[in-house]
Amino acid sequence: MDSSLHLLYVFPEPLPLPRARGVQVAHFLRALAEVGVRITLAYVANGKEHPFSPIGQNVPDKVTLLPLSRGLGWPLAGTGVKSHRLFMWRLGRWIKQAHQAGNKPDIVFFRHVKAAAHFAQTFPDLPFIYEAHEVFAETAKPSQQARLQKLEQLVLTRAHMILANSQGSAQGALRAHGLARPILVLPNGVDYPVDIPEKPWAECQHHIIYAGSLFGWKGVDDLVDAMAWLTNHRVTIVGGSAEQVERLRSRQSADGGEISCTGQLQQHEVQKLLANACIAVLPNRPDPDSEFTSPLKLFEYMASGCAVVATNLPSVREVLGEEDAAWAMPGNPQSLAEAIRSLCQSPEHARALGGRSRQLVRQRTWRQRAINLLAALAATREPFATKLAPVLVASKEGDKSCVS
């Protein structure tokens, strides 16, 4: 029997999921597996592709897939009924069977508060980690807030360890629930490319990019509106559904700069576009979602050597200092246009910012995020320390067998 740490990662949604949370899960689990953690991934199957397909990777050797249905079994399978409770019931049955077979997980990992609350009540003796990506006591709809606040309080109280993807999420949890326990802040990571092509900095006004989802809080509407002040500039917008792309196109000014919308692309296609872009824009608005975010695309912008134009928000300031980006006022298209123009008028400054971005993000890899989690976990309880000692020693010594 493999003596390495066995982590059960619970994701009660369909995978693969090309949206940010699906990509984050795939990257993080791959990194954990590559440094030596044995993982069982419980998820809802979504078509024929596996959960790691959005990042263009095979299922890692140390990952066992555990697809669980949210639907009714035979003879009612054709009714179309789906329930979170059915998923959790099947998960509980698997845990009991794994225990009987001597394969019980050492710890369970959640990022869904309802699933974590159900688990905490059903398996009170099995330790779990909860990763907070927002604070439901502050972001839930009014009709759901009281119930979710109660579940969130339960989870944050009983979790063996609490992670947060940003300082904003950690501070929000402490503020909303009056917690008197530590929260480990682990921002998202990046696959750091060793080499990137030389960028056309002299023509950087034609090589501007936004990559990510097109939800309102992302501020892409403000970027489209900003192009009205940027004649002779060109921006490529990557991401979004056909309907979202069409809505953006309807906002475009006929007299402004050129906007090219690609729609959603595969990860490797996005990386190629970023590698050849000069200026990357993060136009988030001052919405609650922006307070708690740890933007994946910001780290990818930086790793690709792009000069960053960003709106001045606390979540972005966790990553970038005053001299690390061109800053704009959130929700202000004209301010965004001025920040973009200022970089385009100083190609050498833009080049310097791009090089600085590469250096700033160099240690923010998914592998390093995995190591940071395991080091913190090893410090909490002796069984974890014993099982994780070889991983942490190998990492410290640069053992190539543990390097992605």
Please give the mean pLDDT across all residues of the chain.
Answer: 92
Instruction: For residues 365-392, give the mean pLDDT.
Output: 94
For residues 120 and 258, membership in a common domain is answered with no
Cα 304 to Cα 138: distance, rounded to the nearest angstrom: 34
Rounded to a whole number of angstroms, the distance between the first and last alpha carbons of the chain is: 24
Task: Return the CA Rg of the chain.
Answer: 22
Question: Is residue 107 a part of any domain in this protein?
Answer: yes
**HEC secondary structure over 122-141:** HCCCCCEEEEECCCHHHHCC
Q: Which domain holds residue 352?
A: 201-360
For residues 43 and 169, membership in a common domain is answered with yes
For residues 29 and 156, membership in a common domain is answered with yes
Question: Is residue 195 a part of any domain in this protein?
Answer: no
- Helix, strand or coil, per DSSP, at residue 65: strand
pLDDT confidence band for 369 (50 / 70 / 90): very high
Backbone angles phi, psi at 238, to 5 degrees: -110, 125
Question: Is residue 109 a part of any domain in this protein?
Answer: yes
Show the tokens assigned to 262: 């690609």
Question: Is residue 105 a part of any domain in this protein?
Answer: yes
Residue 370 has pLDDT above 90, yes or no: yes
* Domains in the chain, number: 2
Cα 311 to Cα 331: distance, rounded to the nearest angstrom: 8
Backbone angles phi, psi at 241, to 5 degrees: -80, 170
Cα 395 to Cα 65: distance, rounded to the nearest angstrom: 26
Cα 163 to Cα 185: distance, rounded to the nearest angstrom: 6
Q: What is the pLDDT of residues 61-89, one digit of tens each?
A: 999 999 999 876 766 666 666 788 999 99
CATH at 149: 3.40.50.2000
Q: What is the pLDDT of residues 24-34, one digit of tens each?
A: 999 999 999 99
Residue 399 has pLDDT above 90, yes or no: no
For residues 322 and 274, membership in a common domain is answered with yes
Question: Is residue 1 a part of any domain in this protein?
Answer: no
Q: What is the pLDDT of residues 145-182, one digit of tens each?
A: 899 999 999 999 999 999 999 999 999 999 989 988 99
Question: Is residue 308 a part of any domain in this protein?
Answer: yes
pTM summary value: 0.91
Residue 333, preceding peptide bond in cis (omega within 30° of 0): no
For residues 87 and 233, membership in a common domain is answered with no
For residues 295 and 312, membership in a common domain is answered with yes
Question: Is residue 384 a part of any domain in this protein?
Answer: yes
For residues 397 and 354, membership in a common domain is answered with no
* Cβ atoms of 139 and 290 closer than 8 Å: no
Question: Is residue 196 a part of any domain in this protein?
Answer: no
For residues 72 and 125, membership in a common domain is answered with yes
For residues 114 and 232, membership in a common domain is answered with no
For residues 318 and 350, membership in a common domain is answered with yes
For residues 296 and 246, membership in a common domain is answered with yes
Residue 402 has pLDDT above 50, yes or no: no
For residues 174 and 95, membership in a common domain is answered with yes
